[in-house]
Amino acid sequence: MSSSHEPHRFDIDTVRADFPLLQRRREAGSPIVYLDSGATSQRPDAVLRAEHDFLIAHNAAVKRGSHELAQEATDAYEGARERIARFVGVDDARGVVFTKNATEALNVVALSLSDGDPAVPDQLRLREGDEILVTEMEHHANLVPWQQAARRSGARLRWISLGEDYQLDLSALDALLTERTKVVAFTHQSNVLGTINPVPQIVDAARAVGALTVLDASQSVPHGPVDLAALDVDFAAFSGHKMLGPTGIGVLWGRPELLSVMPPVLTGGSMIETVTMEGSTWAEPPARFEAGTPPISQAVGLAAACDYLDALGMDAVRDHELELARQMIDGLRQIDRVQILGPVDPAIPRGGAVSFLIDGLHTHDVGQVLDTLGIAVRVGHHCAWPLHRRYGVNGSTRASIGVHTTSADIDALVDGVRRTIDFFEARA
């Protein structure tokens, strides 16, 4: 978490004022302490206005009309695609496919690779005897689709285990990767542990056996600089609602040369080249994977979120969140009965999602008491049951930091945890 460079900073009070919901006060007059950005971030005025302005001035179907509004809407939609591509370091916007969310994006890849069409190149077709490698820390969105892909295709699902240090045990990576490995799918940053995985090491190992790489970047793209071209992955997925953008939109990025030979998953209007009563042919990507009316205003809003984050500076976003994560970890570690579920060593790369356990208390009880204090956190297994089982627990309490989180928010959480313990001890 520590950094050798001088931290990049932005004015947190100015940032905070950009978020209308965070101006809300509870009945007691106190502010909301929002520490659930890992689930859904709040939206700044600039994002709300961008979507609103599009809807009142340019709303129309894209790519389907020759009238003025349709052209304006199409220009805004495709302009958003180009803007979002630049945000993640991609020059060719043809690789940016808009989906409903990151879950759908990851399903698109898994479904397409397990389609079974014999005309698809072998590299992009899972078959019986092939292997899919995932990790024990995956969100269900990057695990269940691959379980289903293995079931459909006859491939075998394997996984990289977690170590006691809350990092992937990569000592077995070379043994897990074989000539049969077709796909390596893994998260960039754990939504539970906060652990940041060494993407170059995993990608290089996958490349050595000719495997495709699929990166779940949902917890990394919103929280620091991410350059997909430099990371050299084949596919990546992230969601708008976790990066200050609208709900209902996600992004699948894929190498255009791969997308152009992959079969579509959803079919219908807008994704076809020709249609006869006997059959159809497919449009080039990204249209091939965007059947039906797409999330137009949401794309515009997501592009505005990219503008907002870039104006802050993603280095500054990363440094701000890491500083607060260290404050949270240090504060929680001083409380008896609290265990951090994730790396606490500053030498281990991590993000701003901090999960913890309170000995003897159920996570839902913890969340309920914190909620009465105006502190919003996530409780449960966070769509990562295998990870929690690995460490012998049913769930955890997660506090996740965003660009609008303040030092006072962290102090409120630490104090709230102390008060939660005191509350239950008084009732014992």
CATH number, residue 240? 3.40.640.10
Q: What confidence tier does 3 reach under pLDDT thresholds 50, 70, 90?
A: very low
Work out the average pLDDT over 97-104. 98
Q: Which residues fall within 8 angstroms of residue 71, CB to CB, at 6 or more apart?
A: 65
Q: Is the Cβ–Cβ distance between 132 and 185 less than 8 Å? A: yes
Residue ranges of alpha helices (H) inside 313-406 are 314-333, 363-372, 385-390
Q: What confidence tier does 27 reach under pLDDT thresholds 50, 70, 90?
A: confident
Q: Which residues fall within 8 angstroms of residue 315, CB to CB, at 6 or more apart?
A: 8, 224, 225
The model's pLDDT over 351-370, given as tens digits with 9 standing for 90+, comes to 999 999 999 999 999 999 99
Query: Are 232 and 138 members of one domain?
Result: yes
Query: Are 247 and 338 members of one domain?
Result: no
Residue 229 confidence (pLDDT) = 97
When divided into structural domains, the chain yields a total of: 2
Query: Are 408 and 291 members of one domain?
Result: no
Chain centroid, CA 215 distance in Å: 10
**Cα–Cα dist 335/54, whole Å:** 49
Judge whether 39 lies within some domain. Answer: no
| pLDDT of 47 above 80 | yes
Query: Are 151 and 115 members of one domain?
Result: yes
Chain centroid, CA 248 distance in Å: 14
Judge whether 7 lies within some domain. Answer: no
Query: Are 24 and 134 members of one domain?
Result: no
| pLDDT of 412 above 50 | yes
Judge whether 330 lies within some domain. Answer: yes
| pLDDT of 75 above 90 | yes
**Cα–Cα dist 185/52, whole Å:** 36
**Residue 100 structural domain:** 48-310
pTM: 0.96
Residue 49: Cβ within 10 Å count:
12
| pLDDT of 1 above 80 | no
Active site residue ranges? 383
For 109, half-sphere exposure in the C-beta direction (CA atoms, 13 angstrom radius) is 34
Query: Are 22 and 156 members of one domain?
Result: no
Kindly calculate the radius of gyration of the chain based on its CA atoms and give it in whole angstroms: 22
Judge whether 250 lies within some domain. Answer: yes
Short-list 155, 135, 126, 107, CA closest to 202: 135
Query: Are 224 and 353 members of one domain?
Result: no
Judge whether 276 lies within some domain. Answer: yes
Residue 184 confidence (pLDDT) = 99
Domain closes at, from 310, 337, 359:
310
**Cα–Cα dist 239/181, whole Å:** 27
CATH number, residue 345? 3.90.1150.10
Residue 427 confidence (pLDDT) = 85
**Cα–Cα dist 10/118, whole Å:** 53
* Mean pLDDT taken over the chain: 96
DSSP category for residue 123: G
Work out the average pLDDT over 203-210. 98
| Cβ-based burial of 172 (10 A; exposed 0-12, middle 13-18, buried ≥19) | exposed
Q: Two tokens at 58? A: 């340019």
The model's pLDDT over 130-184, given as tens digits with 9 standing for 90+, comes to 999 999 999 999 999 999 999 999 999 999 999 999 999 999 999 999 999 999 9
Query: Are 292 and 363 members of one domain?
Result: no
The model's pLDDT over 51-69, given as tens digits with 9 standing for 90+, comes to 999 999 999 999 877 899 9
Residue 36: Cβ within 10 Å count:
18
Judge whether 1 lies within some domain. Answer: no
| pLDDT of 306 above 60 | yes
Q: What confidence tier does 4 reach under pLDDT thresholds 50, 70, 90?
A: low
| Cβ-based burial of 67 (10 A; exposed 0-12, middle 13-18, buried ≥19) | exposed
Query: Are 206 and 285 members of one domain?
Result: yes
Q: Give, for 135, the enclosing helix (H) or strand (E).
A: strand 131-135
| pLDDT of 381 above 70 | yes
**Cα–Cα dist 12/15, whole Å:** 5
Residue 274: Cβ within 10 Å count:
9
Strands 33-34 and 375-376: parallel
Domain closes at, from 310, 336, 355:
310
Query: Are 125 and 260 members of one domain?
Result: yes
Query: Are 67 and 153 members of one domain?
Result: yes
Peptide linkage before 286 cis (omega within 30 of 0):
yes
The model's pLDDT over 317-331, given as tens digits with 9 standing for 90+, comes to 999 999 999 999 999
Judge whether 394 lies within some domain. Answer: yes
Which amino acid makes up residue 276?
Answer: T
Query: Are 263 and 319 members of one domain?
Result: no
Short-list 299, 274, 278, 271, CA closest to 112: 271
Judge whether 54 lies within some domain. Answer: yes
Domain closes at, from 310, 345, 370:
310
**Cα–Cα dist 245/347, whole Å:** 31
Specify the long-range contacts of residues 63-69, CB closer than 8 Å, at least 24 apart. Answer: 63/270, 63/287, 64/270
The model's pLDDT over 223-281, given as tens digits with 9 standing for 90+, comes to 999 999 999 999 999 999 999 999 999 999 999 999 999 999 999 999 999 999 999 99
Residue 2 confidence (pLDDT) = 39
Work out the average pLDDT over 1-12. 73
